[in-house]
Structure 1
Amino acid sequence: MALIITDECINCDVCEPECPNEAISQGEEIYVIDPRKCTECVGHFETPQCVEVCPVDCIHPNPDYAETREQLHQKYLALTAQKGSG
């Protein structure tokens, strides 16, 4: 399941550089996560790094993008293959 940043975000800038998939970017008002790139850090780390560093606990599973750990791993493989060929 991809993650989502809620409106409790304080724009502290700590999550964006932690994302190994470059799925986090500044939105109009708060940071946003691209669900096509978010693997919850599967393939990179044991836990989502953005969640680990978020000081206000505003990053949660996105109910609109339910994915199993295996699906997240497949997404990770596809994303890293794209980086390798790009």
Structure 2
Amino acid sequence: MNPLNSLTSCCRNCRYYEPEGRRGGACQQLNVPVQGTWKSCSLASPAFTPSWKALQDLIQWEQENLDRTTAASLTPPERSKAEMSRR
């Protein structure tokens, strides 16, 4: 679990929660009505998450997918050459 996600235990602590009236609110990420007391989902983000954290996660995700795509597209001889050049 990401340490930042552990700070958001319920919907009302999420940056995407928008209170509406007395009884609940809406999730701006999912565009659905929610209760503030509900357990937060996997998309939850603390209200004051550093903007660099989301960017850092996105860059890491892109790099992992690029590595997988590159490895899958290489033929076996090319793959062994690429692995040797990394070492």
Q: Same fold (TM over 0.5)?
A: no
With the length of structure 1 as denominator, give the TM-score of the two structures.
0.25
Q: Name the larger-Rg structure.
A: 2
Of structures 1 and 2, the one with the larger relative CO (CA 8 A, separation 6+) is 1
- Going by fraction, where is helix more abundant, 1 or 2? 2
